[in-house]
Amino acid sequence: MKCPTCWNVDTKVVDSRVVEWGYAIRRRRECEYCEERFTTFERRWNTDLVVIKRDGTKELYDRMKIKKALLLAFAKREMTNEAMEEMINSLEMKWTKSGSEINSQDIGKDIVRLLKEKDPVAYVRFASVYLSFNTLDDFKHLLKE
């Protein structure tokens, strides 16, 4: 792991802790050259999960796409990074249990369901993009549900 200050590759682990209920490891590292301390996280990567898009094309699952969508949905809302990571972890566990492929529509539906339980504003924000709202009536219909 390269030091973010001096780019030296010789670093040592000072402390390790299991975080996110065992889904990740937080490591405190120290550069052996400049003695700068920094934190890294290790987590299992779902490289075996393939997303089937609406047009039938397939692509590898990208956790950062989900996180970006959730960050937009929760913009200026109370949501800690830890809680967001926990949400993504629970979704990923569900998706990987169902097999190595998942439809993008199923991903969207699962996120909508989860957000509906967690935060009504984030739910409406995400749903408006996911369901391609074009008019005010689309929002009215969603709120009636």
Cα separation, 88 vs 80, whole angstroms = 13
131, pLDDT greater than 90:
no
pLDDT tens digits, residue range 76-108? Answer: 999 888 889 889 988 988 898 888 899 999 999
pLDDT at 33: 95
pLDDT score recorded for residue 140:
78
Q: How many CB atoms lie within 10 A of CB 90?
A: 14
* Whole-number pLDDT of residue 47: 59
| pLDDT given for residue 115 in this prediction | 92
* Cα first-last separation, the chain: 49
What is the C-alpha to C-alpha distance for residues 112 and 74, in angstroms, rounded to an integer? 13
Do 70 and 107 meet the contact criterion of CB atoms below 8 Å apart? no
The pLDDT value given to residue 55: 94
> What is the rounded distance in angstroms from the CA atom of residue 64 to the CA atom of residue 100?
18
Amino acid at site 117: E
Angle 109-132-104 from CA coordinates, rounded to 5°? 35
CA-CA distance, 94 to 110, in Å (whole number)? 9
Task: State how far Cα 64 lies from the chain centre.
Answer: 6
Q: Residues 16-55: pLDDT tens digits? A: 999 876 778 999 999 999 999 999 988 766 557 899 999 9
Q: 112 near 126, Cβ under 8 Å?
A: yes
